[in-house]
Amino acid sequence: MGYLPIESYGVIGDLHTTALVGINGSVDWLCLPRFDSPSIFGALLDKEKGGCFRIAATSSNAATRQLYVPETNVLLTRFLEPAGVGEIYDCMPVEVDKPGRKAAVHDLVRVVHGVRGTVEFELSCRPAFDYARVGHTVSMVPDGCVFTAEGPRTMRVTLLASVPLHTDNGAAFARFTVSEGQWAAFVFQHVEQGLPDPTLLPIDEIRRSIQDTIDFWQRWVARCTYRGRWREMVQRSALTLKLLTYAPTGAIVAAPTTSLPEVVGGVRNWDYRYTWIRDASFTVYALLRIGFVEEAARFIDWLTTSCQIMEDGAPLQAMYGIDGRAELTESVLEHLEGYRGSGPVRIGNGAYCQLQLDIYGELLDSVYLYDKYGEPISYEVWQRLVRILDWLTDNWHRADEGLWEVRGGRQCFVFSKMMCWVAFDRALRMATKRGLPAPHAAWRETQSKIYQEVMARGWNPELGTFVQYYGSDAVDAANLLMPLVKFISPTDPRMLATLEHTRRTLVSDSLVYRYAPCGAAPDGLPGTEGTFTICSFWWVEALTRAGRLREARLTFEKMLTYANHLGLYAEEIGSSGEALGNFPQAFTHLALISAAYKLDQALDRPRSLATELSASLLAPD
């Protein structure tokens, strides 16, 4: 078997981990028991060594289709052939959705159903423990088989089946048929040490567990308050964000995968199974806007708990583990070839020890939003924020690695400075509104200094645009966020000029590059990359706020065509519309929600005839 396109996968999960299921019926990525645990199925990164769990029709003529059961994260993969139609329900039942509690059992449930005629299926299950670094044994049990990892870190998983299995060379196999109305059930299960070995439940009970999972997701998404033009896509984005949430802490991973390449054959491959502080304000804003106050509260709890003063005096890291751990040491798995030969395969992320000053703005903005639209923050949280701002007062002027985590040297990035301004702005707003103790005069002085410096040094008068870093000629799509964070009016002449310069240099139809590598800060890596999906949604929102609604709407509609068949987005989009980078990416789905909300709001607002004419798509450039 070769590699499927990245966009050919669906994702399921149990709020502790996720599995990627291909349109061919193969589970090619699963880490147990958590998002950041070693993979047990990793064919996504090495088709020969990585391991997979495939159930598929035996006929080479079978066509496939894939969809989610409506308003859920339960996946349905269908096989259609002249002799009949069969389908697979895939889900991971949610055992725990409460902070502070961990699930003891993780089930990957796969149920095959005969729709019409008769369809023959084959099953192969070949786990590869610890990123395929250790071997394993397999033994038969009454209801299936048990796979046991070798080595000091013993791990056991069980495959329970309603049809006979046989084993060979460390894998389990089966061949079976289903006719109309028949069912076959399979449960791949990880049980914590000390609990009894599982046994196969009757098929009716397994089917009930699928229905319970369907009910869970439909109840959850019913809380969504968005009723706008793009309800289905917004709900799918919300369901994806919930799926990427680690229930015991409320942390949301950037993506459930590692090392999917930004360009096939390239080396820009990173581990995204952690939580970035940068995502914070987007997460809280998006969740609050569409009614998920409880999820926003859980994320704020994780955020404020993780943001402790570090030993070196710097309060924040750019990212943390889903359990709040600070050390995310990066290493390379040399024995894996990478997706379609795109090595290296990395685990851990070395950017955790970078200086990224923008995260202070995102932290304070997220707390401000929750304090305003959720619940007032506690005095203890406020004291922690004051200590962070004390540090920032003395350090905002420093060069850093910035939003894009460059590995070629620090610069004074405009976006970083702007977000430092946001940090003081939001803190002053909270202190004033709540009467919280704060050094108002000192914070206002620092805020003013930052603003004046950005306007003086971040603006290139020759080019007529805000630039990526002080003294550069390169533009950066991150500056599209200036009006979104209220640093500048969306119709300020400088912002409108920056929009126009961005359109000429970074925008290709609806697709947007994050920067032009030729003039940007060196990122320390060879090769190229695709367009960044999140930047396209930033572009939509910037156009919306500037009043260019027809252009914004058409761009947004075009971007919806780049989602996969299930409505999921990877980090990047290639020149032929293919998905690139880790998948699915939370940040992109957050930006989609924000853009959809703002565009809907603007389209519903009455507009003058003059505005309509000036915004015409057919007007000359």
Q: Are residues 36 and 125 in the same domain?
A: yes
Indicate whether 219 belongs to any domain: no
Cα dihedral: 434, 439, 445, 449 (round 10):
-90
Boundary-marking domain end, from 195, 223, 257: 195
Closest CA to 468 of 536, 403, 543, 537: 403
Q: How many domains does the chain have?
A: 2
Q: Are residues 568 and 479 in the same domain?
A: yes
CATH of the domain at 349: 1.50.10.10
Q: Is the pLDDT of residue 529 over 60?
A: yes
- Alpha carbons 569 and 586: distance in angstroms, whole number: 9
pLDDT tens digit string along 248-285?
999 999 999 999 999 999 888 999 999 998 887 788 88
- Alpha carbons 322 and 34: distance in angstroms, whole number: 9
Q: Which residues contact 378 (CB under 8 A, 6 or more apart)?
A: none
Indicate whether 73 belongs to any domain: yes
Four-residue CA torsion sign, 40, 41, 45, 49: positive
What are 108's two structure tokens? 């990957």
Q: Are residues 102 and 153 in the same domain?
A: yes
Q: Are residues 176 and 246 in the same domain?
A: no
Percent of the chain with pLDDT over 90: 81
Q: Are residues 450 and 521 in the same domain?
A: yes
Q: Are residues 152 and 240 in the same domain?
A: no
Residue 522: DSSP 8-state: P
Q: Are residues 288 and 171 in the same domain?
A: no
Indicate whether 220 belongs to any domain: no
Q: Are residues 186 and 235 in the same domain?
A: no
pLDDT tens digit string along 377-414?
999 999 989 999 999 999 999 999 999 988 888 999 99
Q: What is the 3-state secondary structure (H, E, C) of 174-197?
A: EEEEEECCCEEEEEEEEECCCCCC
Indicate whether 214 belongs to any domain: no
- Alpha carbons 510 and 556: distance in angstroms, whole number: 8
Q: Are residues 247 and 130 in the same domain?
A: no
| pLDDT, average across residues 582-610 | 89
Indicate whether 208 belongs to any domain: no
pLDDT tens digit string along 142-156?
999 999 999 877 799
Domain with 25 in it: 6-195
CATH of the domain at 148: 2.70.98.50
Cα dihedral: 11, 304, 393, 456 (round 10):
30
Q: Is the pLDDT of residue 621 over 50?
A: no
Indicate whether 388 belongs to any domain: yes
Q: Are residues 183 and 282 in the same domain?
A: no
Indicate whether 574 belongs to any domain: yes
Q: Give 113's strand partners.
A: 87, 183
Q: Are residues 314 and 458 in the same domain?
A: yes
pLDDT tens digit string along 280-317?
778 888 999 999 999 998 988 888 877 665 555 666 88
Indicate whether 200 belongs to any domain: no
| 584 upstream amide cis, omega within 30 of 0 | yes
Buried b / exposed e over 335-366, threshold 16 CB at 10 Å, is: ebbbbbebbebbbbbebbbbbbbbbbbbbbbb
Q: Are residues 66 and 141 in the same domain?
A: yes
DSSP state letters, 213-227: HHHHHHHHHTT----
